[in-house]
Structure 1
Amino acid sequence: MMGSGKTTLGRQLAARLGYTFVDLDEYLVQRQGQSIAQIFERQGQEHFRRLEREALEEVVQKYTKAVISTGGGAPCFFDNIDFINQHGISLYLEVPVVQLVQRLLAQGLAQRPLLAGKSPEELNSYLSETLVLRKQFYERATHTCPAANASAESLVQVVKQ
């Protein structure tokens, strides 16, 4: 989910493993020459999800040893979670909604098209509803890592199992 620590922990995990780190959203922004918010605004979420899948395929082909931080919705569209699992190990960073709300409010919502303009109450409702829909995909990850235990060191141990 958004705000779960994918990018932060992903960078740390990649450094400890000696792998390349790729933030799929950043990769997509560089490839498209526009922000995620602009893609959503100009072409819509469906177009963004197609671009996201293309970027995922490119990154998997380009790097043999990489930690890839996807956007929170990426595993939930097309057959992305199956694709991810076929090409590597997937980790679901399981974070309670109340903690996600706190983190996202602290980071600011303006740069997140699905969250921009939401009040704390609306954010809580949106994240709760979204997590219910996405959890079926997240739980198909190779490993579920509860937030309380998620550190770069603990993730290294999970990956090396």
Structure 2
Amino acid sequence: MRIYLVGYMGVGKTTVGKKLARMLDLPFYDLDAVITESVERTIPEIFEAEGESGFRGVERSYLHKITDTHPSMVLSTGGGTPCFYDNMQFMNEQGITIYLQMDVASLSHRLINSKANRPLIANITAEGLQAYVKRHLDERKDYYEDAHITFPALGMGPAKYDRLVQEVRALRADGLNG
């Protein structure tokens, strides 16, 4: 079973992914970490050298590579991964997609202290961050909402993780390829 986690930056895809993988006894991968390790450059370095379009090409290539080599996994994708090329359609065809959803205020609060590591928001002021997140999230929402499961990511605790596992297993039982 392949599970792809999608959602805006800062929503908790990696944290949720690691826990979900343990609960389902699947290997976990973070797409950004796979890229960084493989090309031996950080995401900000790739953005700086190749621009966003160059990065998105690298990202698509590694999304396909990891999918081709792992028939079972939980993969945390980058916030923009589903929004470029045919990535969302590809992930929907290859497994179960989960959109981790969160409100703009909560996302902005989470992102304020990690701006330096995120090339798209590194130069945005704290005051402008919430407006940027709202606009950017609105642009990406249609892609995210194409996921098989939309799940509220705020306040993830044991009961919510159990509910998420139940939703994944129900989709699997219904015959969704994954």
123, 126, 131: which one aligns with 2:137:
131
Equivalent residue, structure 2, for 1:140: 146
120, 129, 133: which one aligns with 2:126:
120
Aligned partners of 1:152 and 1:71: how far apart in 2? 21
Q: Please state whether the residue corresponding to 1:116 is helix, strand or coil.
A: coil
The runs of at least 4 consecutive aligned structure 1 residues that moved more than 6 Å come to: none
Equivalent residue, structure 1, for 2:174: none
Q: Please state whether the residue corresponding to 1:110 is helix, strand or coil.
A: helix
- Contact 1:13/1:153, CA 8 A, preserved across alignment: no
User: Is 1:62 the counterpart of 2:75 in the alignment?
Assistant: no
What is the correspondence of 1:68-147 to structure 2 with a 5 Å cutoff? 68-106=75-113, 108-147=114-153
Q: Please state whether the residue corresponding to 2:119 is helix, strand or coil.
A: coil
Aligned partners of 2:87 and 2:161: how far apart in 1? 24
Aligned partners of 1:131 and 1:54: how far apart in 2? 24
TM-score, normalising length: structure 2: 0.87
Task: State the Cα distance separating 1:119 from its structure 2 match.
Answer: 1.7
TM-score, normalising length: structure 1: 0.95
- Work out the percentage of aligned pairs sharing the same amino acid: 41
Equivalent residue, structure 2, for 1:152: 161
Superposed CA RMSD in Å reads 1.2
Structure 1: state its 5+ residue gaps. Answer: none
Structure 2: state its 5+ residue gaps. Answer: 1-7, 171-178
- Contact 1:14/1:20, CA 8 A, preserved across alignment: yes
User: Is 1:35 the counterpart of 2:42 in the alignment?
Assistant: yes
C-alpha distance after superposition, 1:23-69 (max 9, x if no partner): 00000001111000000001110010000000000110111110000
Aligned partners of 1:147 and 1:30: how far apart in 2? 27
What is the aligned length? 160
Q: For the structure 1 residues 36 and 148, does the alpha-carbon distance in structure 2 shift closer, same or farther, using more than 3 Å as the test?
A: closer
